Each structure stands twice: as C-alpha cells, then as structure tokens.
Structure 1
C-alpha cells in the first residue's frame, strides 16, 4: 500500500491528506466523517473527525508521485486551546488529572524492575508545579517579600523554597517532587548522595536537591499500569516553554554530557496528524531539524541571530528525542521528508 500522511490544521479548519500515488491513478475520492477513501480501496483515517456533509475537497498533484487531497470543514470550530499558553497549563503526560485516575488504586513502579516506588493510595495531596521558572519570577509575585534584614529568615525560606508537605506529591512536566522520608524504596547514591536509585535494582530514578532536600524523580524512570513516560517529552516541553517565554523558534539542542547537538526550527503547535505506520498523534509540534550541527557552521536563517541554546542534562532524553525525530521523518512519504536541506518531522506534546 502507498505511504500516506494527513494533518489537521485547526487555525485553517483544513485537513491535508497526501498519498504516494500519481494524480492520474486517483480515480475517486470519498470524504467521510473520520476517513478518506481513495479508489474505493485505500481507507485513510483522518487525524481529527470532520462533518463530511459540510466539507469541500480538492485533489491536486504535488509531484509526479504524490497526490494531495485538501479538505476544508466549513463548520469546524476554532479551538482556543491550541495556543502555546494552553500547553503550559498542566497539559503534559501524567499531569494531575492523569495521576488522579490512578490515585486510589495504583502504584508508580520502577521502569527497570517493576518494584513499587510511590504508592499513590498513600498520597494525601497532589499539587502542580507552579512554573519551571517559578524561582526566577519570585520577585514579581510578592509586593512585601520578607527580607533577611527584618530577621524573618524562617519566613524567607518559606517564600524561597518549594518543599512539599508529608505525603504530598508535586507534579512537574517531567518529574515528581517528594519528601525523602515518605518513600522507603528510594535511596540516595553517588559520591555526594546527589542521585536517587531504586532500592531493589539500583536503577537511577532522579536526583536529590542538596539545598532543600527534596527528591526529584524523573517520570521516564517510572511506569504505572504498564504506561510509560516518553523521555523525549523533557525536550519537547522545554521547546514549548522557550517558544512562549522568548518567542524564539530556532534552537540548538545540546547534550550536556556528549556535546552532541541538533538544530531545530519549530512551527505550528496543536497539529493532529496520522502517519502511515505510526497512527494518529494529537497536539503535535511541527519541527524541521538538522543533526550534528557545529556552532561555526550553524545555518543562519532569516532572523537567525535569535537562535537559542537548550542544554539537555539527561542523555537518555536527548537520545530518545533524536530517535523519535528520525522515526517520524522516515515514516513520512519520501517527498515530504525534506524541506530544502532540513528534515521534516512532528513530535507530540
């Protein structure tokens, strides 16, 4: 069967379906609410359902071996939650809503040996991390923040430190913050007890905050009901945050340990897609990328001086990110895999 790719662009209320068939071999196109049927035999699922009775479509040749079907749903509603801000409001995997589904009956387990790490039945309260930049923004949040000069050292610590109460779990975009005394199967390790490991198999689970004493447990080192957290999400969420806070769209992503790097150029957010061998993916970020870019040979785009660096401290996350970009790129129809000298890919947020 010919490879295909479809994407739903919410701002344009348009779905684009592209299939590896010459235009003269496309004899018929039937648009349904949830799929497009070509030549009565090729059934392509749409990434987002439409009202076929209100939709119009056009069939065009993109290249000699690629045909495009463009579908516009005139009744589709524009959804405001496809903005960058909405993805920063607790929209990540294993947010509070997700964890609450497991709260009364399940356990966060070690991804390596399946040993229980955090028994969710024992968690008294779930709280969201206020912001990844909460400390940097501290001065803007308090009009009368206590000072050391006023001998309010205890109160100052309360304002400057984020420490959960006993049996409370603070949920960040890619980690959990917990009290050390709450969970016996997590042990400190390393030369200065800076890392955390599973008490059974000694798999590294995260790191110890030496200033406050919190446990920072990485989500991809855990699983719940055989559901896994994707390590690449650490980088994709960083990209969304940087796009929101700095308005930059071109980034040099650098693995802190190996110094390997990859340059990415970020486009539309909130795109639903269906890739031939990978299936439907919701809320994706479109990315153009180049691998192993060196600082002195970085391409200068229009506005290229605004390129920003993202240092990745977790090698597992960097490797998973690179593998995912290549996996989606190779699954696209061949004519869609490149844009000039950039590789084209998509990543779910």
Structure 2
C-alpha cells in the first residue's frame, strides 16, 4: 500500500469542452492501477497500490466515457475527458464577473473588524451605518469621455454643425455633474467606502490606530496600536484612512460572511480590473518605498522577502518529498529592495480541482473542492528589468506594501504544490502558479 496519496489535478477547458486530468504518483503504476469516472460523471476515481483516491471534477464529464488504461511503469498519467452538455449561462457569468471579498452587499451595520495579526478591534460594531461600493479607479475619466461624446449633445456643450468639429471639452461641465476627472470621493463619518482591496473610512470611525508620517512624500502610515503591524495609510486626497482588507478579520453575526479572505482572493480582483482596463496580460508587483531603505512594513524588524524560483526545485520532487521540503524551499529568499514580481496571466477564469493542496494558514496539505482561479506564469525580475517593461508599455505596474509583495510571492510558489511536477514550469524561464479568485456564496 502506498504511503503517500497520488496527486490528481483537473482543470476545465471550456473552449474545447473538455476536462484535463493529470496524475502524479510516487510509485510507478502497475497492473492494479486503474482510473474510472463515477456514474454521474462528477468524480474521477483512481485505484493505485490498494488505495482509492477520489477527486471532485471541475465540470461534469460524460459519464459513460471510457478512460484509457495507464501505461505500466509511468509515474505521470494524463487524460482528456469530454464535458457533458453545454456551458450554462450562470457558469459563464460567474467566470466573467469580478467580485472581491467584503462588498457592500455582504456587510451590515453590525460588521466589526479586527487586526488580523493580533485581534485588536479597528472598526467597532455599529460605527459604520452604511457601506458603499466605490466605482473602478478610472470611472471619472470614462464618464467624462461619455459626457463629451454622447450621441445627443445639448447646444451649449457643442458648437458647429459637426459633432466633433469645434467640439469643446469643458472640464467644468463634467465636474459640476460630479464625474469630472478631478472628482474624488472623500471620507464621511458613518459611511464605509469600499473598493476591491481597501476600505476608505473617516479617521474618527477607526479605533486603535497609530498614524506615523514617513520621510518620503510625507506619506502617513496607519498601524495597529497593539501589534504595530502596518494595516493602511492616510489618504490625503480622500481625507480619510485607507485600511487594507488583507490586514483585517471580520467579526459579524452574518453566518455567510467570510471572516478571513485570502490575500490571493483580494489581489486577484484588483489584477483582473487592471488587466481589463488596460488590455494587457502582464503585471509587475512593485514594493512601495516609504522611507530610505524601508518598505511599507517598516514597523517589522525583519525585511520583506520572497522565495526565489522555488518551483525550479519543486519540479524534481516526488509527492512525499513535498511535505518534507516545503519549509526548506520557501526559505530561499530574495530581498525585495532590488527585485519585483512579473506575472503573466494566461487564464483569468480557470476552474480547477486538486486532490492535495497546501494550506497557507496551517502549513498542512488539504483536499479541495473545485475552485475559480487565475492561471499565472511568474518570475522574479530586477528593478531595471521592471523599468524597461513599464517604459515599453508591455506591462502595467501595481504598487503594493513590501510585505504583501513578499507574501504573494510565497503564495504563488506554494500553489505550484497543487500541480504535478511536469506542470510547474514553462519554457524553463517561467514558474507556473494558481491565484485563487473570490467566489461569493450564492
């Protein structure tokens, strides 16, 4: 009997209506190794060395489809399985939508938020009477463009017989209507404004915060008064405090409210917004510098770091070696002061399932149900390489706190443990990762 369960990974290929199933074994498959589908086509069942491993598939397979027999002696197996029926409208809309944790519809007046590190209350219950979702960052520019180019222009907003001949673009008109390019939302007491990654709150609505002004750009950092972890910053333009969602834990009586959304589920929504708005497929995660030689995690004694190409080592490991060597692999660190993360997004809406997956919170391996994720190729690049890509407009930049850039780097490296060894590298240059997206309760 095998000491380690096989790693089974499956993903839905909607364009060709197929499921791709990959299996990695510790021991070569023998006469007793057999794969089959459940009667309803919802599960993949593998028998190997006396063990049975079952995986919930990310789509319903044709139940009577006969799987090819494994080749004796192989340690990696693969199948392509046809999907039953056509894609439903709900599944298409869910994949195309872009939702982030803790939107206004998920929060109520009794929502209470605490520091995720130490549990100190940051936003007390009933302090925020109303939660409001903010529009995307480029909403003002889009509205102003629409106002200037809408089909039926009032006489006072255009001149000449042609709609574009002598067309005037007065910023005052759009601004007076509340959607000029210079229009901004400002914090208001009792109201919590929500974007994809932060809350914008009035300063007096926050508790147990310490505001520290840095030496660069006079930026003011907001940290937890108890554990001193940086959890946001003072937004001078919006006249309020921006608190990072990933720094908070929700205390709420709502049973369906998620308490600790993962960093990946929060950042993936921001990435998708940038990709769609700028028609690009590559992003560079850059650490914010708030003071000379310091990252945004200035209150911590250790500098922010991330694993350097750890999946190069992962590709050669057997399944049993993964759990033993994971801490060692993730200890290979690189200073963020001179480096960046380059992410190339291949699939923004991948539905996958895996029989074994690392849990960032517990450090253990857990089985998972089908998940929605973004499939990513990624690598560490230097600051000079990042500047070249940004200047050439072949990638967009996303500034993040240094410790968050480090954390997402570790998450990307850990996600490769869900994949069979042959699927963890692309073209020797790129590491392959899965960035889980948020799926609200329906």
Query: Shorter-chain TM-score: which interval?
Result: 0.7 to 0.9
The Cα shift of 1:289 comes to 1.7
Distance 1:128 1:223, change over 3 A: same
Which entry has the higher C-alpha Rg, 1 or 2?
A: 2
**TM-score (norm: length of structure 2):** 0.65
The alignment yields a C-alpha RMSD, in angstroms, of: 3.6
> Aligned to 2:68, what secondary structure does the other structure show?
strand
Q: Does 1:347 align with 2:435?
A: yes
Distance 1:238 1:224, change over 3 A: closer
**Could you tell me which residue of structure 1 aligns to residue 58 of structure 2?**
48
Equivalent residue for 2:37, pick from 26, 31, 35: 31
How many residue pairs get matched?
336
Distance 1:290 1:60, change over 3 A: farther
Equivalent residue for 1:15, pick from 19, 32, 40: 19
Q: Does 1:323 align with 2:410?
A: yes
Conservation of the 8 A alpha-carbon contact between 2:61 and 2:82: no
The Cα shift of 1:201 comes to 3.9
**Could you tell me which residue of structure 2 aligns to residue 223 of structure 1?**
249
Distance 1:124 1:57, change over 3 A: farther
Conservation of the 8 A alpha-carbon contact between 1:329 and 1:344: yes
Conservation of the 8 A alpha-carbon contact between 2:109 and 2:130: no
Distance 1:200 1:124, change over 3 A: same
- Rounded to whole Å, the distance in 1 between the matches of 2:260 and 2:188 is 27
- Rounded to whole Å, the distance in 1 between the matches of 2:231 and 2:395 is 29
The Cα shift of 1:245 comes to 1.8
Deviations 1:251-302 (A, max 9, x none): 34333442312222211122122233213452211111222356559999xx
Q: Note the residue ranges of structure 2 that are not aligned, 5 or more in a row.
A: 149-156, 158-168, 252-257, 290-336, 358-367, 438-442
The Cα shift of 1:17 comes to 1.6
Distance 1:56 1:138, change over 3 A: same
> Aligned to 2:407, what secondary structure does the other structure show?
helix
Q: Does 1:109 align with 2:114?
A: yes
**Could you tell me which residue of structure 2 aligns to residue 59 of structure 1?**
68
Q: Does 1:335 align with 2:345?
A: no
**Could you tell me which residue of structure 2 aligns to residue 73 of structure 1?**
83
Deviations 1:14-45 (A, max 9, x none): 22221124576574322124321122843232
Structure (1/2) with the larger strand percentage: 1
Alignment of 1:257-336 (within 5 A): 257=289, 258-278=337-357, 279-280=368-369, 282-292=371-381, 295=384, 307-336=394-423
> Aligned to 1:121, what secondary structure does the other structure show?
coil
Equivalent residue for 1:239, pick from 271, 278, 286: 271
- Rounded to whole Å, the distance in 2 between the matches of 1:294 and 1:154 is 42
- Rounded to whole Å, the distance in 2 between the matches of 1:297 and 1:190 is 28
Conservation of the 8 A alpha-carbon contact between 2:250 and 2:259: yes
- Rounded to whole Å, the distance in 1 between the matches of 2:401 and 2:386 is 25
